[in-house]
């Protein structure tokens, strides 16, 4: 059976990309597509490798019913460009870093998550790390919106055999 694989990418892999991973996992379960869509996340940096998501990201996500506690940060590796059909960056800096690392023949896999938002007014998911709690709420709002659009895209891809 065909599967598709998506990896969310931010800087530290402790705030935005694990939030997106938790949100999409919940949406995938609600849609009954657990066996068809593979989800992961990674950071362009390695400072937080091995750590659970930021406590503030976990708390904000928990309030909306997403459990991020078992996720652990890791850095992007070269095999990710082979393993995943899509590598979705949270902001332009993450996108630029990914493009530098990405082999030319996989370039089309590297995109911005917010391309999939219903109302893509914002191109980036802003980094909440140095701000207040409202930043984490905004990350959740943006991830919930974009992941719904992404899930629709992936569902079509599973049917049409195109990602």
- Could you give the residue numbers annotated as active site? 10, 16, 127
Find the binder of ligand 4NP among 6, 13, 68, 142 (CB under 6 A): 13
Q: Which residue is nearest to ligand 4NP (CB)?
A: 12
4 vs 113, beta carbon nearer ligand 4NP: 113
Question: Among residue numbers 16 through 45, which ones bind ligand 4NP (CB under 6 A)?
Answer: 16
33 or 122, CB closer to ligand 4NP?
A: 122
Contact 163, 4 (CB under 8 A): yes
User: For ligand 4NP, which stretch binds (CB under 6 A), given 5-13, 33-41, 112-120, 146-154?
Assistant: 5-13
Q: Which is closer to ligand 4NP, CB of 117 or CB of 139?
A: 139
The residue count of the chain comes to: 163
Q: What is the 3-state secondary structure (H, E, C) of the chain?
A: CCCEEEEEEECCCCCHHHHHHHHHHHHHHHHCCCCCEEEEEEECCCCCCCCCCCHHHHHHHHHCCCCCCCCCCCECCCCHHHHCCEEEECCHHHHHHHHHHCCHHHHHHEEEHHHHCCCCCCCCCCCCCCCCHHHHHHHHHHHHHHHHHHHHHHHHHHHHCCC
- For position 129 contacting ligand 4NP by CB under 6 A, the verdict is yes
CB of 36 to ligand 4NP, least distance (A): 27
What is the distance between the alpha carbons of residues 134 and 152, in angstroms, rounded to a whole number? Answer: 28
Contact status: 10 vs ligand 4NP (CB under 6 A): yes
Select the residue interacting with ligand 4NP from 25, 127, 135, 145 (CB under 6 A).
127
Which tokens in the block code for residue 153?
Answer: 């895209």
Q: How far is the CB of 114 from ligand 4NP (least distance, A)?
A: 14
Interface ranges with ligand 4NP (CB under 6 A): 10-16, 47, 127, 129
């Amino acid at each position: 059976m065909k599967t598709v694989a998506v990896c969310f990418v931010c800087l530290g892999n402790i705030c935005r990309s694990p939030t997106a991973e938790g949100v999409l996992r919940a949406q995938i379960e609600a849609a009954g597509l657990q066996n068809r869509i593979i989800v992961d996340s990674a950071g362009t940096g390695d400072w937080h490798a091995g750590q659970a998501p930021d406590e503030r990201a976990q708390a904000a996500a928990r309030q909306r019913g997403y459990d991020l506690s078992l996720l652990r940060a890791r850095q992007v590796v070269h095999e990710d460009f082979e393993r995943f059909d899509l590598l979705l960056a949270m902001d332009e800096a993450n996108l630029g870093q990914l493009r530098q690392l990405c082999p030319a023949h996989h370039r089309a896999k590297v995109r911005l998550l917010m391309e999939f938002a219903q109302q893509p007014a914002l191109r980036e998911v802003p980094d909440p790390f140095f701000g207040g709690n409202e930043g984490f709420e905004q990350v959740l709002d943006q991830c919930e919106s974009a992941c719904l659009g992404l899930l629709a895209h992936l569902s079509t891809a599973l049917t049409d055999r195109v990602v």
